[in-house]
Amino acid sequence: MSEDQTIAKVVAAARDFLGERMTQNASLREHHARGQDTYPPRTPDAVAFIETTEEAARLLALCNAAGVPVVPFGGGTSLEGHVTPVRGGISLDLSRMTAIREIAADDMDCRVEAGVTRDQLNAHLRDAGLFFPVDPGTSHCTIGGMCATRASGTNAVRYGTIRENVLGLTVALADGRVIRTGGRVRKSSAGYDLTRLFIGSEGTLGVITEIQLRLHGIPEAISSATCQFDTLAGAVETVIAVLQAGIPVARMELLDDVQMAGCIAYSKLEGLDAAPTLFFEFHGTPASVAEQASGAEEIAAAYGARGFAWATDTETRARLWKARHDAYWAALGLRPGAGGLVTDAIVPVSRLADAILGVKEDILASGLTAPIVGHVGDGNFHTVILVPPEPDGLERAWALDRRIVARALDLGGSCTGEHGVGLGKREFLVRELGEDVLDVMRSVKRTLDPQGILNPGKIFLN
């Protein structure tokens, strides 16, 4: 049978239970050709809008038998090419699985379908006095996608990444079996940690359809602050000193002078200069928040901070953090017409000054514009490389990206703090972990997906 015939057969069989939700409509296929990345798009042969775990499992069993690739698709916000069906096949769209199945306020946990977005969940939780802390840069990413890429965000320094906030998963396996890993308890020593094995597996080991999540109480008091520095070094040294002082800061974000110029223009931030800036947030009781904040202020002042500005009212805080989350759009605003290539790297916190000052030099040498933002409390930082609209623009941007990641590895870091490997970090993964570690990962992959239908071409170069 030709490839086209195989696809046609799978599509016809899936129509039996998906009806019109199994589609080969051209514009829907086009919409599933890429995420928010700069890799070459490829349209899937068909898109399946599944609504239940059972539908995902039936579709997988069909595709497994026919050897047709399946690429899970959530919010379509991947920055590393995860959702591009590089070998064709079916885009398995989970964005309609948006049920919040259960909120257990007493246990501070909940069960959600994979297509629930973090904004949807937090809006739902607000009245219960609870929140879900993991907050990647985009608000319409899905919880399933966050699990698949081991995502984090600005709160990870205090609340952990998605890894620490998932209690259990429902996963449809390549052969159509469905398993539930973990459970509702806070910890367990009951066998292999399959939950953590699927988290960060980027759709290559199974399709995550439901998630049991830990939640956290909305703190009694929250206070945000900004302060500015004449030098990047002063800002980075403040971060290290705050961590070492044991101040339980909830968020600590760095924006460099270029990023601040973008944010001031895009988000109408008043009273701030285009200079290296730290955004802080403190959670706790009113007394504890005040104590944390004054501790951080004292440390920042010692490293040359000026203009410590407080935001305790909800509205000012919300505006500040919206500006931080809009940093990508603000960066794009610096060069109208330019695309954005977002770099993700992480180093041990002690090497953060070396990393960021070095990256600043790399950017200067490249002649490109590339603001730096980062969850510097974990050592994780991003640059938004503005891709000039010239013929060699993308190539130059990629060269700078490679240089930045290589620098992080040289400093004992990792090639991705939170965006995942996808297509773009495959070569760096080998350099970071070595062939033997990759061999073990590949053997696990072969065990769970012997036909190689699950998101082929991702994580591994071969």
Query: Does residue 128 interact with its own copies by CB under 8 A?
Result: no
Residues 139-178 as x/- pattern, contact with its own copies by CB under 8 A: ----------xxxx---x---xx-xx--------x---xx
Which CB atom, from 46 or from 172, has the smaller least distance to its own copies?
172
Footprint (CB under 8 A) of its own copies, residues 17-46? none
Stretch that binds its own copies, among 66-74, 228-236, 252-260, 408-416 (CB under 8 A): 408-416
294 binds its own copies (CB under 8 A): no
Contact status, residue 374 vs residue 381, Cβ threshold 8 Å: yes
CA distance 26 to 196: 36
Helix (H, G, I), strand (E, B) or coil at 235: helix
CB of 16 to its own copies, least distance (A): 24
**Positions in 50-79 near its own copies (CB under 8 A):** none
Q: Is 229 helix (H, G, I), strand (E, B) or coil?
A: coil
Q: Which two tokens stand for residue 168?
A: 């259990």
Stretch that binds its own copies, among 7-15, 49-57, 85-93, 433-441 (CB under 8 A): 433-441
The correct pick among 37, 55, 109, 135 for binding its own copies (CB under 8 A) is 109
Nearest one of 57, 51, 50, 59 to 11, comparing CA atoms: 59
From 25-33, 37-45, 101-109, 331-339, give the range in contact with its own copies by CB under 8 A.
101-109
- Quick check: 348 binds its own copies (CB under 8 A)? yes
> Which of 117, 189, 185, 191 minimizes the C-alpha distance to 147?
117
- Under the binding rule (CB under 8 A), the answer on residue 118 touching its own copies is no
| 15 close to 22: Cβ distance less than 8 angstroms | yes
Identity of the residue, 9 or 196, whose beta carbon is nearer to its own copies in the bound complex: 196
Q: Which residue's CB is nearer to its own copies, number 245 or number 302?
A: 245
Q: Which is nearer to its own copies, 105 or 309 (CB)?
A: 105
Binding its own copies by CB under 8 A: which of 121, 205, 331, 368?
205
Conformational region of residue 203, where left means phi above 0, alpha means psi within -120 to 50, and beta covers everything else: left
Given the structure tokens 């640059």, which residue do they identify?
383
Stretch that binds its own copies, among 62-70, 92-100, 197-205, 356-364 (CB under 8 A): 197-205
Q: CB 280 → its own copies: shortest distance, Å?
A: 17
CB of 382 to its own copies, least distance (A): 13
| Using rule CB under 8 A, residue 443 touches its own copies | yes
Instruction: Show the beta-strand stretches assigned E in 256-333.
Output: 277-284, 306-311
- Residue 111, classed as helix, strand or coil, is strand
Query: Residue 342: enclosing H or E segment and its boundaries?
Result: strand 339-346
Judged by CB under 8 A, the chain residues 308 through 347 that form the site for its own copies are 344, 346-347
- Give me the helix-helix angle, 53-66 and 3-18, nearest 10°: 160
Q: Which residues contact 19 (CB under 8 A, 6 or more apart)?
A: none
Residues 221-280 that bind its own copies (CB under 8 A): 240, 243-246, 248
Chosen residue from 12, 287, 318, 461 binding its own copies by CB under 8 A:
287
447 counts as binding its own copies under rule CB under 8 A = yes
Determine if 220 is a binding residue for its own copies (CB under 8 A).
Answer: yes
N-to-C CA span, the chain = 26
Q: Establish if 401 lies at the interface with its own copies (CB under 8 A).
A: no
Q: How far is the CB of 100 from its own copies (least distance, A)?
A: 18
The site that binds its own copies (CB under 8 A) totals a number of residues, namely: 90
Contact between 5 and its own copies by CB under 8 A: the answer reads no
Residue linked to tokens 């590339």: 370
| Among 379, 424, 456, 457, interactor with its own copies by CB under 8 A | 379
- Please give the sequence-ordered ranges of beta strands (E in DSSP) within 122-272, or none if there are none: 130-131, 166-172, 178-182, 207-214, 216-217, 221-228, 251-255
CA distance 210 to 26: 29
Q: Which of 120, 139, 288, 366 binds its own copies (CB under 8 A)?
A: 288
Count Cβ atoms within 10 A of the Cβ of residue 364 and give its class: 0-12 exposed, 13-18 middle, 19 or more buried. Answer: exposed
Biggest CA–CA distance in the chain, Å, is: 72
